[in-house]
Amino acid sequence: MSVTFPLLIDGRWRAGARDRILAVINPATGDRIGDVALAERADLDEALAAAERGLAEWSAVSPWQRGALLKKAADLLRADAEDAARTMTLEQGKPLAEARAEVLRSADFLEWGGEEARRISGRMIQGREAAQSIQVETHPIGVVAAFTPWNFPMALAAKKFAGALGAGCSIICKPSEETPGSAIALARALLGAGVPQAAIAIVFGEPAEVSSYLIPARAVAKITFTGSIPVGKLLASAAGQVMKPVTMELGGHAPTIVCGDVDPEKAADFLARAKFANSGQICLSPTRFFVEESVRARFTARMVEHARAWRVGDGLDPQTQMGPLASERRVEAVSKLVEDARDRGAIVAAGGERLGNRGFFYAPTILTDVPDEAAILREEPFGPVAPILPFSDEEAMLAAANGLEFGLSAYVFTGDAARQKRLKDALQFGAIGINDVVSHPPDVPLGGWKESGYGTEGGIEILEPYQKVKFVSLR
C-alpha cells in the first residue's frame, strides 16, 4: 500500500508548495512503496523562519528540561522500534534485525545528547586584578542545517538531532529522499516528547537546490553533513564562502590488516559478518584486506566459503543475512568496480555478479590478485566486495594502507601486543579496531582524519560542534 512521506515545517506535516513528489522504491523488489514530498524555496523560507522562532523558544528551555525531553523522545522511539524498523527495511533494504538495532541506537543517541545537555556549564576565572573576574559562558550556536544519507537513515540523523537539540539549537534536517520514513519516525518521537514544533524541520528536495539555499541563508549558523568526500568538499566550500562552521563525517576505505599469528578462519568468520553487514554500505566497513602471506590462503578460502554461503534476500525474511543494495545506482557502481578489477587481471573468487532480476541484489564478492591500478583500491566500494591483498613487507603494507586520502577507520588483527601498538600508532585514521571492527555508539567521539572529515560526533563532546563561547569580563 503506497504512502506519502511529507515535509515537517513548523509542526505541520504537509506537501511542498508545488506538490512535487518523488517515488520511494523498495530495493528488495523494485516496487514503489510511496512518494516523498519535495520542498520549494517557499517551503525552505517557511522552515527558516520557524527555525529562528524555534531557536528562541528551545534555547530558553533549561538544559535540565531539554535533557528530560530528549530522554522521553528516546523512550518513545524505543516503544516504536518494531514499526520504525519495518519502515527502514522496506525503504533501505537492510535485514530487519539490523534495522531494529539502528532504531535502538538512534534512541541511545537522543538519550545521550539529553544527558550531556544536563552537564552544560560555564566557568569563572579570577582576573589579573583583585577587582576583576572573567565569566565563560556556553551558548547554542544557532539554527543548524543538517544533511543525512540513506545508509543509516535514522542513526546518522539522530546523532545530529541529539547534539543540536541538546545544545539548545533548532535544526532543519534534509534526509535522503530514498529513505524518508526513518527520519520522519525520529521526528515524530521528538514532537511526541514535547520538543517545540518550530525547533525541528524535515525537508526533502533536490539535494543541490536545498543545500545551496540553506547554507548561505542568514538564519543558518552551522552546517553538519554525513556522506561522500566529494559532496562534503562542495558543502564545506559553500560554507566557507559565508564563514560558517561545519562538521563533516565523510567516506572511508578501511585497511584491515590480518597478521600471521592469528587463527585465519576465526578472523575470516568475524570479518565476513562485518564486511557484509548493511550490504557493505557502511563508511566504517572493512574494505581493503591486507593479509600476511603465511595465512593468506586459509583466510581467503574461508572468506570465499562465507561469501558463497551467505543468505541474500529480502530484509523482512528472518533467514536473510544480507539485503539488497539501496538502489540501482549502487548496483551499477559496485558492478563497475568489480568489472574494472576483473578487466585488469583480478580473480573473482566468489560472487562478482548481480543476483536475480528483481530488486537491487549483488552477490557477496571476494577478489584476489587485485592489481595496484584497480579502481577499487582507490575508490570507496560501498558494497559487499572484499579485495584480498597479500603482504610480507610490513613497511610497504603500511605505506599502501596510509596512501589514500581516506582516514576514517582501520583494523588490525594480531595477538602480538608490540605489533598492535606499532601498527596502531602508524595508521593515520580516526578510529582503530584491534581484533575488532568499530561501530559508533553514542558515548564515543567519531571523526575522520585527512579527507574523511572535520570535527567529531558523539562522546562527551557531542554538544561542542553546536555551541559557541562568550567570555564576560566583570570589574
- Whether 456 contacts 446, CB under 8 Å: yes
DSSP label at 250? Answer: -
The residue to which cell 570589574 is assigned: 475
- Whether 465 contacts 224, CB under 8 Å: yes
The residue to which cell 578460502 is assigned: 301
CA gap 240, 39 in Å, rounded? 25
CA gap 145, 93 in Å, rounded? 27
Assign 82 to helix, strand or coil.
helix
Q: Which residues of 390-411 are buried (b: 16+ CB within 10 A; e: fewer)?
A: bbeebeebbebbbebebbbbbb
Which residues are tagged catalytic? 249, 283
Grid cell digits, residue 180: 524518508
Grid cell digits, residue 150: 540513506
- Whether 444 contacts 461, CB under 8 Å: no
The residues pairing with 24 across neighbouring beta strands, listed in sequence order, are: 34
Identify which of 291, 282, 289 has the alpha carbon closest to the alpha carbon of residue 255.
289
CA gap 156, 151 in Å, rounded? 9
- What's the Rg (C-alpha) of the chain? 23
